[in-house]
Structure 1
Amino acid sequence: MVAKIVIGKKLRGALHYNEHKVIEGTAELILASGFAGDIEQMNFNQKLQRFENLLMLNPKVKTNTLHISLNFDAAEKLSDQTLQRIAIAYMDKIGFADQPFIAYRHHDAAHDHIHLVTTNVQMDGKPIDLHNIGCIRSENARKEIESEFNLVKAQSKQYKPEPALKPVDLSKALYGHLPTKRAISNTVNAVINSYQFSSLPELNAVLKQFNVIADRGSEDTEMFRMGGLVYCLLDDQGNKVGVPIKSSSLYTKPTLQWLEAQFAKHHANKMVHKSALKATIDKVITASPRDRVDFVNALKKQGVAVVFRNNEQGQAYGITFIDHVHKTVFNGSSLGKAYTAKAVLSQFGRQESLQKTLCPLSISIQNRSAIAKTKDEAVLLQPDNLFPELHPKLLETLLKGEQEYSGGMPKKKRKKKRTLKI
C-alpha cells in the first residue's frame, strides 16, 4: 500500500474533485464517518457544510485540508468492506479517528485506491499538528496496516505500482461524450493535488502521461508576456487537439501565478524521496539495459516513467523522471550529473561498443571492471592489449623480428685462431 497526503487550503476543491468523479461514474462513496443523517441523501453543499462548521471555529487556520489517497497493489482485489476497515484503521493511526471524513473508491486506474477527505480543525477549534504527518505517522500506519490486512508491501519486489489516473479518452472528449473542459479539469486537478513538481516542464512531464499539456504559447505572443496559461488535450503523437481551456476558467484556477507559488513548496517536499529514486535508477543501470527502450521499460516496472526531451534533429538534450510510487517529478540534472540525458545515454553506447569489441572473449564492461582490480590490470584489459595482433606498434615489432630472423637460427661465429709470433 502507498499512502499519499496532500495538505492544502481548499477543502471545497478536494470535495468537489471526488464528487465529480462520482457523477461521472468513475468513483463511489463507500464511507462517511462523523456525519449525522443519511450521507447518500446529502448533496454537495450539505457535505461541505459539515466541514465548514469546523473551519469556522478557527478561521486563523489556513492550512486546514487533507486529501489522502491509499493505493494498493494491482494484483489485489479488495472488497468495499475491506477498504472501509482500512480507511478507519488508517485515520485512527494518524490521529484523525475523531475527525469527520469521507472515503471514495475510485475506478479510474488499474489498481484499487481510495481517496479520503477531512480537516485538521477539531471540535474545540484547535488544529491537529500536521508536521511530518507523511514521513512519520503515515509511514508507520502504512506498515502496520500492510501487516494487519496481509497486503502486498510497498517496499517489496512483488509490489506493482500503477498511476492512480488514466489518460483522457480522446474519442469521448473530442466527440461530445465527455466535455473537453471537464476531461481536462479532472486530469489537471488530480495531478496538481497528487504530484510534487517544481517547474512547469516537470508538471507537463506528468500531464503528458495523461494526454494533457499546460501551454504558455510562443514567447512572442501576448499570452506569454502577460503570464497566461491554457490547458490542451494531446493526441497519441503529442499534438494539441481540441479547444484550449483557460486556466482561470477551471474550478481550482491552476493559473501560472498559482503554480509558481507551489514550486518552492513542492521542491522541498519531494526532496524526501530523491535518494529512493536515485537508488531505483542506479539499480536499473547496473542491470545493463541494452538501449533506451530497455532502460525505459525496466524503470516502468519499478513505477518510474522516463521522458526524454528531444530537439528538432531527434537528439535527446534532457530527461525527466516521474516517480508514480511517491508521486514526485525530477529533472535528470537535479538528481546529479550521472542522471542527465547525456550521461544515461552514454551508458548504452559504451556497453554496446565494448560488447562488439570484446565479443570473442565475452567480456562485458561489468566483467572488465570486476577483473581489473589494479591500474596495471586495467591497462592489460584494454582492447589493444587483449588483441595484440591489432596493435600497430606491436605488429611492427613482430614484423621487424621476423625479417631479422628470417634465415633461421643464427649461426655461432667461429673464433679466429691466433698464432703466436716468436
Structure 2
Amino acid sequence: MVAVIKTSSSIRGILNYNENKVDIGKAECISAVNYPLELEKLNFTSKLNRFLKLAELNTNTKRNSVHISLNFDPSENHSKEKLAEIADTYMEKLGFGRQPYLVYQHYDAGHPHCHIVTNNIQRDGKRIDLHLLGIRKSEPARKEIEEMFGLVKAEGRKQKEQFSLNPIDVGRVQYGKAESKKAINSVLNKVLFDYKYSSLPELNAVLNLYNVHADRGSEESRVFKNNGLLYKILDQNSKPIGMPIKASEFDSRPTLKFLEEKFKVNETKKHYCKKHVRNALRQAFFDERMTSVERLSERLKDEAIHTILRKSNEGKLYGITFIDFKTQSVINGSDIGKEFGAKGIQESCAMNILTLEKKCQNTNLDSSEKLQNLDSNAYAKENLADILLRGEKINDYVSKKFKQKKKRRIYRGV
C-alpha cells in the first residue's frame, strides 16, 4: 500500500474533485465517518458544512484541509467494506479517528485506490499538527496495516512506480505537456477557492501567472452575448494557444454566474487584506532611493507581493495591481488610496528624484550625472521633467509624509 497526503486551504475544491468523479461514474462515496447523518442522507452541502463549521473554530489555520489517497497493488481487489475498514484503521493511527472524514473509492486508474477527505481542526478549535505527518505517522501506520490486512508491501518499490493523486501539481501550464482540460482544472481548483479577487481582470491577474486566462470574448461574440466564459492556455508570450474550453465543462463549473457570486463575497474579505499591501508600500517609500516603479516592484518581492504594471500600447503606465501571496488577495493600487494608484506612485517616485537632486546640489555635485547613476530609467527622467513643470499639482496625489516644505533660500552678495 502507498499513502499520499496532500494539504490545502480549500476543502471545497477537494470535495468538488471527488464529488464530480461520483457524478460522472468514476468514483463512489463508500463511507462517511463522524457525521450526524447516515451516508445515504448526506448531500454535497451537508458534507461540506461539517468541515466548514470546524474550520470556523480556528481561522488562524490556513491549510486546514487534508486529501489522502491509499493506493494498492493492481493484483489486489478489495471490497468496499474492506477498503472502508482499512481507511478507518489508517485514520485512527494517523490521529484523525475522531475527525469527520469521507472515503471515496475511485475507478479511474489501473490500480485499486481510495481517497479520504478530512480537515485538521478539532472540536475544541485546536489543530492536528500536519508537519512531517507522512514520516512521523503515515509510514509506521502503512507498515502496520500491510501486516494486519495481508496487503502487498510497498517497501522497496522504485519511486517511479509509486502512485500519486490524480490532479497534477499546480504550476505554470505548458501547452502539450499535459492534457489541457486537466491542467487548467488543477489551476482553477487552486486559484478559484484560495484567492480573493473581485473582478474578472483581478482573477486573470492570478490565472495568468499559471498561463491560464478566462475570456468572455468580444462584445459582438455569441459567448459574450450569452454570458458565457472560456478558459484558455497562454504561451510564453502570453498569447492564447490551443482550443479554448467552456467553463461549464470543468468540475467546479466556474461560469460567469459562479464568478460574479465570488466577486461579491471576496470584496468583503479583501477589506482585511489591504492593510498588508498598504503598509508594505508605505515602508518601501521610506527609502528615498525608491525612484521608479520597477525598483518598487523588486522591493515588494521581499514582502511576497507581486506587482503587475498595466501599460498602454504606447508604453504609458495607467494602472497597477498587487498580488499579495501572504493574504492570497488581488488588490488594485487605487483601491487602497490615490497615492498608491499608478499616478500617485509615479509622482512619489518623482518626488524622491527631486529630493536626491537637491542633495546633489547641496554637495556641489553635477546633478545630471548623479541622477544617471541613481537611476538610468528613461521614464523616471521624463516623469521628473513633467513634475518640474507642474509641481503645484502633485500634492493632490501624494501622501502627507512625502510632502516637503520648500525652504526659502537667501542669496547673499559677495
- Report the TM-score range of the alignment, normalised by the length of the smaller protein: 0.5 to 0.7
Pairing 1:198-217 to 2, within 5 Å after superposition: 198-217=198-217
- Say if 2:171 is the partner of 1:166: yes
Q: What secondary structure, in the 3-state scheme, does the structure 2 residue paired with 1:181 have?
A: helix
Q: 1:14: Cα distance to partner?
A: 4.3
In structure 2, C-alpha distance between the alignment counterparts of 1:211 and 1:235, rounded to whole Å: 7
Per the alignment, residue 279 of structure 1 pairs with 279
In structure 2, C-alpha distance between the alignment counterparts of 1:256 and 1:303, rounded to whole Å: 29
Per the alignment, residue 300 of structure 1 pairs with 301
- Say if 2:16 is the partner of 1:13: yes
Q: 1:258: Cα distance to partner?
A: 0.9
Which residue, 32, 42, 63 being the options, matches 1:70?
63
Q: Describe the superposition over 1:111-143 as per-residue Cα deviations: whole angstroms up to 9, x where unpaired.
A: xxxx994279xxxxxxx99xxx9xxx5xx859x
- Identity of matched residues, %: 27
Q: 1:362: Cα distance to partner?
A: 5.9
Per the alignment, residue 158 of structure 1 pairs with none
Deviates more, 1:257-266 or 1:50-59: 50-59
Question: In the alignment, is the contact (CA less than 8 A) between 1:187 and 1:207 conserved in 2?
Answer: yes
Question: In the alignment, is the contact (CA less than 8 A) between 1:69 and 1:116 conserved in 2?
Answer: no
- Say if 2:192 is the partner of 1:192: yes
Q: What secondary structure, in the 3-state scheme, does the structure 1 residue paired with 2:406 have?
A: helix
- Say if 2:287 is the partner of 1:260: no
In structure 2, C-alpha distance between the alignment counterparts of 1:379 and 1:350, rounded to whole Å: 13
Q: What secondary structure, in the 3-state scheme, does the structure 2 residue paired with 1:379 have?
A: coil
Q: 1:204: Cα distance to partner?
A: 0.5
Q: Describe the superposition over 1:197-244 as per-residue Cα deviations: whole angstroms up to 9, x where unpaired.
A: 111111011111111111111222221121111111122332222221
Structure 1 pair 361/296, CA: closer, same or farther in 2 (3 Å)? same
Structure 1 pair 202/362, CA: closer, same or farther in 2 (3 Å)? farther
TM-score, normalised by the number of residues in structure 1: 0.56
Structure 1 pair 273/337, CA: closer, same or farther in 2 (3 Å)? same
Question: In the alignment, is the contact (CA less than 8 A) between 2:181 and 2:245 conserved in 1?
Answer: yes
TM-score, normalised by the number of residues in structure 2: 0.57
In structure 2, C-alpha distance between the alignment counterparts of 1:49 and 1:224, rounded to whole Å: 41
Per the alignment, residue 309 of structure 1 pairs with 310
Pairing 1:380-399 to 2, within 5 Å after superposition: 380=407, 385=409
Per the alignment, residue 178 of structure 1 pairs with 178
In structure 1, C-alpha distance between the alignment counterparts of 2:352 and 2:116, rounded to whole Å: 47
In structure 2, C-alpha distance between the alignment counterparts of 1:216 and 1:328, rounded to whole Å: 22
- Say if 2:361 is the partner of 1:355: no
Structure 1 pair 196/378, CA: closer, same or farther in 2 (3 Å)? closer
Question: In the alignment, is the contact (CA less than 8 A) between 1:4 and 1:326 conserved in 2?
Answer: no
Q: Describe the superposition over 1:249-284 as per-residue Cα deviations: whole angstroms up to 9, x where unpaired.
A: 122111111111111112222322222232222222
- Say if 2:329 is the partner of 1:328: yes
Which consecutive segments of 4 or more residues in structure 1 shift more than 6 A? Answer: none
Unaligned runs of 5+ in 2: 1-6, 56-60, 65-90, 104-114, 132-168, 365-369, 371-400
Which residue, 392, 399, 405 being the options, matches 1:378?
405
Structure 1 pair 45/222, CA: closer, same or farther in 2 (3 Å)? closer
- Say if 2:31 is the partner of 1:50: yes
In structure 2, C-alpha distance between the alignment counterparts of 1:295 and 1:91, rounded to whole Å: 46
Per the alignment, residue 228 of structure 2 pairs with 228
Question: In the alignment, is the contact (CA less than 8 A) between 2:101 and 2:116 conserved in 1?
Answer: no
Structure 1 pair 347/295, CA: closer, same or farther in 2 (3 Å)? same
In structure 1, C-alpha distance between the alignment counterparts of 2:196 and 2:184, rounded to whole Å: 19
Which structure would you say has the larger Rg?
Answer: 1
Per the alignment, residue 338 of structure 1 pairs with 339
Question: In the alignment, is the contact (CA less than 8 A) between 1:101 and 1:117 conserved in 2?
Answer: yes
Question: In the alignment, is the contact (CA less than 8 A) between 1:14 and 1:117 conserved in 2?
Answer: no
Count of aligned residue pairs for this structure pair: 282
Q: What secondary structure, in the 3-state scheme, does the structure 1 residue paired with 2:10 have?
A: strand
Q: What secondary structure, in the 3-state scheme, does the structure 2 residue paired with 1:178 have?
A: coil
Question: In the alignment, is the contact (CA less than 8 A) between 1:196 and 1:270 conserved in 2?
Answer: yes
In structure 2, C-alpha distance between the alignment counterparts of 1:247 and 1:57, rounded to whole Å: 30
In structure 1, C-alpha distance between the alignment counterparts of 2:99 and 2:118, rounded to whole Å: 11
Q: 1:17: Cα distance to partner?
A: 9.8
Structure 1 pair 226/300, CA: closer, same or farther in 2 (3 Å)? same
Per the alignment, residue 61 of structure 1 pairs with 46
In structure 1, C-alpha distance between the alignment counterparts of 2:207 and 2:16, rounded to whole Å: 19
In structure 2, C-alpha distance between the alignment counterparts of 1:184 and 1:145, rounded to whole Å: 28
Q: Describe the superposition over 1:359-416 as per-residue Cα deviations: whole angstroms up to 9, x where unpaired.
A: 133699xxxxxxxx9x9x9332x6xx2xx6xxxxx69xx5xxx9xxxxxxxxxxxxxx
Per the alignment, residue 23 of structure 1 pairs with none
Amino acid at match of 1:6: S
Structure 1 pair 207/286, CA: closer, same or farther in 2 (3 Å)? same
In structure 2, C-alpha distance between the alignment counterparts of 1:353 and 1:44, rounded to whole Å: 66
Structure 1 pair 63/70, CA: closer, same or farther in 2 (3 Å)? closer
Per the alignment, residue 417 of structure 1 pairs with none
Per the alignment, residue 291 of structure 1 pairs with 292
Structure 1 pair 11/220, CA: closer, same or farther in 2 (3 Å)? same
Q: Considering only aligned residues, what root-mean-square deviation do their CA atoms show, in Å?
A: 4.3
Q: 1:245: Cα distance to partner?
A: 1.4
Per the alignment, residue 245 of structure 1 pairs with 245
